[in-house]
Amino acid sequence: MVGGVIERARWRDVFGHAEFRALFLAGVLSVAGDQLARVALSVLVFDRTDSAGLTALTYALTYVPDLLFGPLLAGIADRYPRRTVMIVTDLARAVLVAAMAIQALPLVVVVLLLVALQAFGSPFNAARAATLPAVLPGDHYVLGKAANDMVVQFSQVLGFGTGGLVVVAVGTSGGLLLDSATFLLSAVLIAVGVRRRAVPARDTDAPPTNYFKDLSAGVSLVARTPKLRALVVLATIAGFYVTVEGLAVPYAHEIGQGTTAAGLLLAASPAGAVAGMWLITLWSPERRMNLLGPLAMLACAPLIVCFLAPGLAVTVVLWAVSGLASAYHLPTSAAFVQAVPDAQRGQAFGVASTALKSSQGAGILLAGLIANESSPSVALGVMGGLGTIAALAAGAAWTRARRSRAGTAENGAGRVAGDSGENTSGHAP
C-alpha cells in the first residue's frame, strides 16, 4: 500500500511464491481428473439405466453429501496441520476412485464409493482454501485466487471437453483410473512443495472447545454476520445453473447428439468462466462488488432459452455465457475467506461449501426429476427461470448488507481503517 492506496498485485508476484505453484498444480490435476470421472460416471449410469433422472441423481451425489460432510469434516482443517490433511485425503481419494473402476461392482456400490469420495473432499478443500491466504499475503491472495480459479475452470474444460473422447478410447474404468492417478500426483506435489505449518492458533484466550462446539461456532459466525450470510446466499445461486452438468448427457441425446457432444456441452460453461474471471481481474474492486447480483442473474438467464431445445452450437454459446457470468464467484469467495479469522477459516469454509454444494446437488436432483416428467430441455428452462428470480432476491440481500456495513463504517471510521484484511482484499464497501 502506497499513500493509503492499495497496490494491485502482478501475476509474476503471485507465481513467485513456490508454495502457491505447488498448490496451483495440485488443483489443476485434481479438478481435471474429477471432471473426467464425472463424464465417465454419467456415461456409465446412462448406459446401464437409459434414464435421465438416474443419471442426474448420480451426478447430484457428487454434491449432496456435502450437506452432511461439509460442516462435519471441514473443521478438521482447523484442528490438524493443513498440509497433512491435504496429503492424507488425496491418497484416500486415489484409492476410492481406483476401486470405482472395478467393472464387476454393482451400481449401488459405485454410488457408495462416490459418497465416500466426496466425504474426503470436504476436509481437503477446506485445508487448501485456508492455506492459500497464508501462502499469498494481501492483494496477492485476490489475484492468486483468480489465477487458481481460472485454471481450475480451464482444467474442467480439458476434463469435460476431452472426457467424452477419453471414455470412448479407454472406457469408463480407464477414465476412473486416470482420475486416481491425478489424486496421487496432487499428493506428491503438496508433500514436496508446501511447507509444514502448525495448527492455527485461536484468537482468544478461552480454553479449547470440543469439535462440535467449533462446528456450531463456525455456523454461528456465518449466520450472524450479514456480509458473510449474503455472500453465501449469492454463492448458492449456482444450484440453478449448475444443472447443465447433470443433464448434459441426456440433453445431448435429446438434440440428436452423442457422448462426444456431451463433453463439448460440459466444457462450454467452464470455458466461459475462464474468460469471465480474466475480465473480472481487470475491474476495480468496487465494480466487482457492485455487479455480484446482476452477474448471478446473468448466469441463470441463458438457460431459459433451453426451453426451445436449440442445436448444439446455440446451446454451447448459451452455456458459455452462463459460465462467463458465473465468474462472480471469484470476488464472492475471496471476500468471504478474507473476512474470516484464520483459526476459523476451515470451519467457515466448510459451512459455505456445504451451502454451495448442497444447493448444487439439490438443483441437479430437482432438474433430473423435472426431466423425467418432461424433458431435459424443459428442466433446464425451468431452472434457468427460477434461478434468475432467486438471483434477483440474493442481489438485493447483498446490497442491503453492503449498505449496513457502510453505515457502520461511517460510525467507526477509525476502526474500519485499521481492518487490514478488508482493506487488503479491496472488498471494503
Q: What is the pLDDT of residue 425?
A: 30
Q: What is the pLDDT of residue 225?
A: 77
| pLDDT less than 50: residues of the chain | 1-6, 203-208, 408-429
Buried b (16+ CB within 10 A) or exposed e, 168-199: eeebbbebbbbbbebbbbbbbbbbebbeeeee
Q: What is the pLDDT of residue 413?
A: 38
Cβ-defined contacts of 107-114 (< 8 Å, 24+): 107/45, 107/48, 107/49, 110/41, 110/44, 111/58, 111/61, 114/41, 114/58, 114/61, 114/62
Residue 314 class from Cβ within 10 Å (0-12 exposed, 13-18 middle, 19+ buried)? middle
pLDDT, tens digit, for every residue of 214-239? 567 667 777 777 788 888 889 999 99
Q: Which of 352, 358, 102, 112 is nearest to 227 (CA)?
A: 352
CA 116 to CA 89: how far, in whole Å? 11
Q: What is the pLDDT of residue 3?
A: 43
Q: φ, ψ for residue 2 (rounded to 5)?
A: -125, 120
Residue-range domains of the chain with CATH: 17-196+211-409 (1.20.1250.20)
Residue 266 class from Cβ within 10 Å (0-12 exposed, 13-18 middle, 19+ buried)? buried
Q: What is the pLDDT of residue 316?
A: 92
Q: Mapping DSSP to helix (H, G, I), strand (E, B) and coil, where does residue 34 land?
A: helix
Q: Which residues neighbour 131 within 8 Å (Cβ) at sequence distance 6 or greater?
A: 23, 82, 83, 86, 194, 197
Say if residues 218 and 351 touch (Cβ distance below 8 Å): yes
Q: φ, ψ for residue 394 (rounded to 5)?
A: -65, -40
Residue 235 class from Cβ within 10 Å (0-12 exposed, 13-18 middle, 19+ buried)? buried
